[in-house]
């Protein structure tokens, strides 16, 4: 099972032109700023907008190919969509929202409701069957939207900023749940987001979209470590670690090293995000207030736009982003021994 | 306030309460009541059958001449009903432009119950169309997109998503339309005449009785219409009278 798409869309002077090839069982994140063409791409894959040029093929079936006059309308595509703002039907309760796609698929009301109840249970919403969307919390609505999209068993699942409508506190929890549910979906998964943490936590591959074309593609680790342009760095170029929070608040990282965060942590597996701008480099061991400090050696100094990204081999290895004048003044170059310092307040932790 | 309250008070003051039931159950009054229900409900049904698709097209589809259609469908709301009746007569009367053709195939509308229904539809349908058109515009189109990705074709989307979302406005528009049809006077009497049992609806009956021999029965039937109007007002109060 796989999705291959060559997407060409012209609209109002904006051109979307990109190629996608995604295998089933993997999650690909499309990352880009507003206006990059993310939502247009999603609508084309769902069939809500026709291609100008190109071809979309899912599991060997051509869904859109203007050159040979093929266009499969959305209702006949095996595609499920989790929309931004969830877009649950306000006149239907949670159960009938999930049952909607099963009914249009030909199931009788009773059978559809039995299956829909199973799906609600699977996303942990047993007992909320009769709740209207207006009565659900943001996190619950997100889970109903996911169950609704998955219930008809699509071959391709599209998620459009699935976490954007949630407040920050709910987002971490829902992100972790979403990751678990995505792992159980066997088809092709495509996630649209502007949040590098979503991409890093939820995706196996990342495609950065800018002005309708692919700016960079790779695994989250590759892109976060080596963003190819200033704005990719701004968007997604962050330090990402996998680790486990202990009961003492220290996070033991998978590839060695320990970090201390300011937040009170629940023990368990976590992602840790440290923005390169929050990483300070010193020639001697720092005496200041930074809770995290460890020695290393500079392996690369690369200018990205008007900033310099300094790669430091250490435990853990990390990227710092500093100004060109800072590099000159303290003489940072490849091979320099440095101390890395990060304040505990600059360490963002996400349960995984 | 007085301007509105005094006539109502007058109506209630003069009402012949003791003989009300007898007036209501007299033959011609019963005929008028029955006919009014039949014609107003039929006019409402026709308005729904034609008005729902029209409102949807007006709200959703861009086509040349759309503004003209909107003007034409809104016109009966501001046009004096008697002018509407004259226009209908000139167009659909026996010697009218369209009427002469209809006459040839044996269809005759003026001075028939069907003519009364047509006159009421002409005047009342805009209330349904305008209410519903506004409602169709406010439906979140993305919900319809969501339904399509869930396997619903255009018609299923309309029936299971769009229509339920506009249901409150459909009810409100229908009730307004019915109330207007029930009270229709000018167009009906001009186009359909004033034949007892065939085209003499309640308002016509009230007018005739008040002018003629039996003002009491006119007052009683006016009260019936007043009660129905109040029922509409109370039924729709959540829409109009409460602050949103």
Interatomic CA distance for residues A122 and A94, integer angstroms: 13
pLDDT the model gives residue B26: 75
Q: Work out the minimum CA distance from B24 to partner chain A, whole angstroms.
A: 43
H or E element, residue A62: strand A61-65
CA angle A132, A133, A139 (to 5 degrees): 130
What percentage of chain A has pLDDT greater than the value 70? 99
| Cβ contact, residue pair B167, A91, below 8 Å | yes
Q: Does A110 touch chain B (CB under 8 A)?
A: no
Interatomic CA distance for residues A351 and A328, integer angstroms: 39
Mean pLDDT to the nearest integer, B102-120: 86
The confidence band for B64, taking pLDDT boundaries of 50, 70 and 90, is very high
Read out DSSP for A300-313?
A: EEEEETTEEEEEEE
Per the listing, tokens 């999705």 go with A3
Q: Does A303 touch chain B (CB under 8 A)?
A: no
pLDDT the model gives residue B68: 94
| Strands laid side by side in the A188-193 sheet | A79-82, A156-160, A188-193, A27-31, A205-210, A213-218
Query: Are the CB atoms for A53 and A66 separated by under 8 Å?
Result: yes
Mean pLDDT to the nearest integer, B67-82: 91
Q: Of the candidates A150, A175, A147, A182, which has an alpha carbon nearest to the alpha carbon of residue A161? A: A175
Burial zone of B60 (CB within 10 Å; 0-12 exposed, 13-18 middle, 19+ buried): middle
Rg of chain A over CA atoms, in angstroms?
A: 23
For chain B, the 3-state helix, strand and coil shares in percent, each to the nearest 5, are 80, 0, 20
Nearest to B150 among A85, A91, A104 (CB): A104
Which range of A147-161, A325-339, B222-236 scores highest in mean pLDDT? It is: A147-161
The alpha carbon of residue A107 and the mean position of all alpha carbons in its chain are separated, in whole angstroms, by 34
Q: Does A143 touch chain B (CB under 8 A)?
A: no
Per the listing, tokens 């991409």 go with A199
Q: Reply yes or no on whether the pLDDT at A339 is more than 90.
A: yes
* Mean residue pLDDT across chain B: 87
Partners of A80 on chain B (C-beta within 8 Å) are 149-150
Q: Reply yes or no on whether the pLDDT at B17 is more than 80.
A: no
Please report, to the nearest 10 degrees, the dihedral formed by the alpha carbons of residues B10, B16, B17, B18 taken in order.
Answer: 160
pLDDT the model gives residue A180: 86
Give the count of alpha carbons within 13 A of B25, CB side only.
4
The confidence band for A54, taking pLDDT boundaries of 50, 70 and 90, is very high
Residue of chain B whose alpha carbon sits nearest to that of A81:
B149
| Cβ contact, residue pair A104, B145, below 8 Å | no
Residue ranges of chain B whose CB lies within 8 Å of a chain A CB = 140, 142-143, 145-153, 156, 160-161, 164-165, 167
- Which tens digit of pLDDT belongs to each residue from A234-270? 677 788 888 899 877 789 998 888 998 887 778 888 8
Interatomic CA distance for residues A129 and A125, integer angstroms: 7
| Cβ contact, residue pair A89, B147, below 8 Å | yes
Partners of A74 on chain B (C-beta within 8 Å) are 145, 148-149
* Mean residue pLDDT across chain A: 88
- Which tens digit of pLDDT belongs to each residue from B176-203? 999 999 989 889 988 888 888 888 888 9
Q: Which pTM was predicted?
A: 0.79
Residue of chain A whose alpha carbon sits nearest to that of B146:
A87
* Helix, coil or strand: residue A48: coil
Q: Work out the minimum CA distance from A47 to partner chain B, whole angstroms.
A: 8
ipTM of the complex: 0.79
Q: Does A13 touch chain B (CB under 8 A)?
A: no
pLDDT the model gives residue B238: 64
Give the least confident one: A56-65, A219-228, A292-301, B108-117. A219-228
Read out DSSP for B145-192?
A: HHHHHTT--HHHHIIIIIHHHHHHHHHHHHHHHHHHHHH--HHHHHHT
| Cβ contact, residue pair B151, A104, below 8 Å | yes
| Cβ contact, residue pair A74, B161, below 8 Å | no
The residues with which A240 forms a beta bridge, in sequence order, are A273
| Pairwise pLDDT comparison (B213 vs A63), residue with the higher score | A63
């Amino acid at each position: 099972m796989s999705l291959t798409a060559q997407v060409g869309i012209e609209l109002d002077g904006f051109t979307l032109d990109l190629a996608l090839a995604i295998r089933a069982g993997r999650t690909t994140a499309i990352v880009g700023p507003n206006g990059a063409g993310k939502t247009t791409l999603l609508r084309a894959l769902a069939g809500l907008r026709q291609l100008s040029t190109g071809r979309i093929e899912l599991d060997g079936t051509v869904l859109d190919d203007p050159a040979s006059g093929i266009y499969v309308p959305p209702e006949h595509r095996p595609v499920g969509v989790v929309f931004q703002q969830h877009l649950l039907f306000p006149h239907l309760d949670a159960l009938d929202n999930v049952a909607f796609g099963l009914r249009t698929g030909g199931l009788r009301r009773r059978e559809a409701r039995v299956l829909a109840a199973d799906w609600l249970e699977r996303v942990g919403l047993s007992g909320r069957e009769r709740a209207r969307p207006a009565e659900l919390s943001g996190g619950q609505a997100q889970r109903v939207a996911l169950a609704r999209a998955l219930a008809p068993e699509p071959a391709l699942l599209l998620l459009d900023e699935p976490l954007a409508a949630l407040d920050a506190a709910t987002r971490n929890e829902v992100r972790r749940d979403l990751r678990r549910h995505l792992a159980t979906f066997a088809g092709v998964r495509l996630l649209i987001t502007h949040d590098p943490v979503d991409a890093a936590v939820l995706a196996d591959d990342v495609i950065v979209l800018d002005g309708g074309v692919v700016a960079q593609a790779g695994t989250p680790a590759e892109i976060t470590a080596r963003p190819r342009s200033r704005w990719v760095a701004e968007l997604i170029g962050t330090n990402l670690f996998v680790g486990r929070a202990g009961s003492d608040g220290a996070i033991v990282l998978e590839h060695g090293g320990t970090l201390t965060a300011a937040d009170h942590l629940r023990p368990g597996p976590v992602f840790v995000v440290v923005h390169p701008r929050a990483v300070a480099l010193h020639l001697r061991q720092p005496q200041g207030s930074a809770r995290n400090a460890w020695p290393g050696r500079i392996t690369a100094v690369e200018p990205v736009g008007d900033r310099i990204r300094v790669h430091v081999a250490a435990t853990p290895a990390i990227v710092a982003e500093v100004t060109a004048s800072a590099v000159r003044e303290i003489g940072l170059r490849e091979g320099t021994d440095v101390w890395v310092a990060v304040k505990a307040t600059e360490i963002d932790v996400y349960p995984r | 306030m007085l301007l509105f309250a005094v006539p109502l008070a007058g109506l209630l003051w003069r009402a012949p309460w003791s003989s009300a039931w007898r007036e209501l159950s007299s033959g011609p009054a019963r005929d008028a009541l029955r006919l009014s229900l039949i014609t107003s409900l039929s006019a409402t049904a026709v308005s729904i059958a034609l008005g729902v698709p029209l409102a949807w097209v007006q709200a959703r589809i861009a086509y040349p001449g759309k503004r003209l259609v909107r003007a034409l469908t809104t016109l009966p709301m501001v046009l004096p009903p008697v002018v509407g009746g004259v226009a209908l007569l000139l167009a659909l009367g026996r010697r009218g432009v369209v009427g002469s053709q209809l006459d040839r195939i044996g269809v005759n509308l003026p001075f028939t119950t069907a003519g009364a229904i047509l006159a009421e539809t002409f005047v009342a349908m805009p209330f349904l169309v305008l209410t519903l058109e506004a409602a169709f515009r406010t439906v979140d189109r993305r919900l319809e997109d969501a339904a399509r990705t869930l396997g619903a074709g255009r018609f299923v989307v309309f029936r299971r998503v769009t229509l339920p979302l506009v249901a409150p406005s459909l009810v409100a528009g229908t009730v307004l339309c019915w109330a207007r049809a029930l009270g229709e006077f000018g167009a009906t009497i001009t186009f359909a005449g004033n034949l007892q049992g065939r085209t003499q609806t309640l308002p016509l009956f009230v007018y005739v009785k008040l002018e003629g021999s039996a003002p009491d029965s006119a007052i009683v039937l006016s009260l019936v219409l007043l009660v129905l109007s109040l029922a509409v007002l109370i039924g729709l109060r959540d829409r109009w009278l409460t602050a949103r």
